[in-house]
Amino acid sequence: MELKSLLDYPDAPEVLEDGDTFYKNALKKGRFFANYTGETVIADDSGLEVDCLNGVPGVYSARYAGPSASDEDNIEKLLHVLDGVSPDQRTAAFRCVLVLCDPEGNHETFEGILKGVITKERRGSKGFGYDPVFFYPECGKTVAELSPEEKNRISHRGQAFGILKKRLQEQLVSR
């Protein structure tokens, strides 16, 4: 088995993520690139869902403050929208949906979720995106305060890949 990334396909076009769920975006990308490459591919979509905002920013996490928004812009908008909201109402989750697609159109889905609370101010300098304002109670830190090893162990993306890895191992054993 050989792993490749889209960097191995420099002429690959971008896929418009216009689905209204992480699953729809991941599946669209997975099917497109499985067709494009003729290979089995893993595609994902992920983001932040804030409970008191009915899941917003959700699929718009990367562009919450606008199409060319930076991580800082997105955080600033989120903190502004949540201004005055009590800590017990600031619950949120990072969600990742992975889709394993083959060129014949078959696919399997794997999901990871990391639950936490949105802080009132940034803490930490590691990570990216909403990590500085996403507090993970079990560690007593924001995700941006975690080491890369700690983050990889608990992250929504790490969880989803862990489930995918287990599934692939099961398939190899059953052959």
User: Total domain count for the chain?
Assistant: 1
Q: Residue 21: what pLDDT?
A: 97
Greatest distance between any 2 Cα atoms in the chain? 56
* Within a domain: 3: no
* Within a domain: 39: yes
Q: Residue 104: what pLDDT?
A: 96
> Per residue in 72-106, pLDDT tens?
999 999 999 999 999 999 999 999 999 999 999 99
pTM exceeding 0.75: yes
**Residue numbers annotated as active site:** 45
Two tokens, residue 128: 């990216």
Omega prior to 67 cis, within 30 of 0: no
Q: Containing domain of residue 26, as a range?
A: 19-173
% of the chain with per-residue pLDDT over 90: 93
The mean per-residue pLDDT over the stretch 26-40 comes to 97
The CATH number assigned to the domain holding 133 equals: 3.90.950.10
